[in-house]
Structure 1
Amino acid sequence: MKMKFCGAVLALVTATASYAQSVNKGDQQILKELAQANMAEVAAGEIALQKSESADVKKFAQQMVDDHTKGLQAVQNVARAKNVTLPMEPDARHKQMAEHLNTLSGAAFDKAYLADAGVKDHKAAHAKVAEAQKKATDPDVKALAAELQPTIDKHLQTVQGLASGKQ
């Protein structure tokens, strides 16, 4: 009897601990979208490192790979702690963007990379993390969004300057 009671208590504690670490569907979606955004920036940055002929664009691309790899790791750490399964590859839109970037070269590549992976995606990421800070209910998800915001804002400012010089 005592053994059954201990087993039941252990099962309840384990279930409670597991439940306490999970997040609602909205916060799960935030984590998935943040993972997608970071994966897409890493992938696009890697393409730019191979294809761009501009030292400034390559420097920016390396910064994207470095910063978004760190950002993805931060998202993965929170997701793991909250029992959230993240996507393993960029979404269809970003795969299509990567395919398009791979067809370009020279100034046309730089312009498209800076406009799409740079300005457009960082504006979207800025809006996404700002919304996450307001709508997330889990304090760790909210803190993650706040942690990512300054880096995204810096990237947006940098890429807008680069893009205006490549017009």
Structure 2
Amino acid sequence: MLLTSENTAPDRRVGLRALGLASAVALAACGSQGSDADRVDATDTTVATETPTMSDAMAAPDVTEASSTMQPAEYVAAAASGDMYEIQASRLAEKHSKNDGLRDFAEQMIKDHEATMAKLKPIAQEAGAPVPTAMQPRHAQMISALETASRTDDGSFDRLYREQQIIAHEEAVTLHRGMSNRTDASVALAGFARETLPKVEQHLAMLQAMPADAAQ
């Protein structure tokens, strides 16, 4: 199911956002202990599993407050994976989108998320939380879906890219807001979250302000 208008039902977005944070917590918690087979390299997004469907996402429990209890390593893993996804997805959009507005947006995403990644690395190191070099499997599946859509000529790539971007930024807002309010976590990480949150909120507002035909 693809996003076709500005009026996507709120409960659908809540379910999708919940899936993302549930996945982030579960995957980040075992990231440093899992085998290489459990990780997907950011430069190789071919995955053996099927791309998750919207019905799968809607069945996820509500974990919108998950980031308020994340360990530093979990937060760093989720934030870094989100950045890697944003950069790679937007590089695909620069190449395959048929909409000028989406291509401009993609260019901005690459610039902003590369900057965020660069800032996160030394802060994470200070907090003793390693920055992963591979995005989490769910993000890799999203990239795989975009790559599949890019081979069509029916406008599905633009619709999927915009839909994924809305979902990803809603998840990121919740992630960074949760860490920014922490008083029991790394001061540097909480500061990073507070600095990053307004930028992510701005990206989401840009997406929501796009005309409906931006994804046609």
| Greater helix share, structure number | 1
TM-score between both structures, scaled by the size of structure 1: 0.79
Q: Quote the offset at 1:83 in angstroms.
A: 3.1
Name the amino acid aligned to 2:196: L
User: Is the 2:72–2:127 Cα contact (8 Å) retained in structure 1?
Assistant: no
Deviation readout 1:114-144 (Å, 9 max, x if unpaired): 001x100000000000111123511101000
Q: Is the 8 A contact 1:129 1:148 kept in 2?
A: yes
Pick the aligned partner of 2:175 from 125, 128, 131: 128
> Are the equivalent residues in 2 in contact too, given 1:111–1:163 (CA < 8 A)?
no
Distance 1:148 1:43 in 2: 19
Shift of 1:103: 1.3
Partner of 1:113: 161
What is the aligned residue count?
142
**What is the rounded CA distance, in whole Å, between the counterparts of 2:211 and 2:144 in structure 1?**
21
Aligned to 1:142: 190
Task: Kindly indicate whether the alpha-carbon contact (under 8 Å) linking 2:124 and 2:131 is maintained by their aligned counterparts in 1.
Answer: yes
Instruction: Quote the sequence identity (%).
Output: 23
Give the unaligned 5+ runs of structure 2.
1-69
* CA deviation string 1:83-122 (max 9, x = no partner): 3212112111111111111111452111100001x10000
**1:114/1:163 contact within 8 Å kept:** no
SS of residue paired to 1:85: coil
Structure-1 separation of matches of 2:117 and 2:131: 10
Residue in structure 2 matched with residue 15 of structure 1 by the alignment:
none
Which residue of structure 2 aligns with residue 156 of structure 1? 204
- Alpha-carbon distance in 2 for matches of 1:82, 1:41: 24
Letter in 2 for 1:56: G
Unaligned runs of 5+ in 1: 1-24
**Partner amino acid, structure 1, of 2:203:** H
Q: For the Cα contact (< 8 Å) 2:127–2:186, is it kept in 1?
A: no
2:103 matched to 1:55? no
- Structure 1: distance between partners of 2:174 and 2:126: 25
State the Cα distance separating 1:162 from its structure 2 match: 2.3
| Equivalent-residue separation in structure 2 for 1:91 and 1:160 (angstroms) | 26
Secondary structure of 2:130's aligned partner:
coil
Q: Is the 8 A contact 1:46 1:65 kept in 2?
A: yes
| Structure having the higher Rg | 1
CA distance in 2, matches of 1:131, 1:49: 31
Q: How far 1:164 sits from its partner (Å)?
A: 3.5
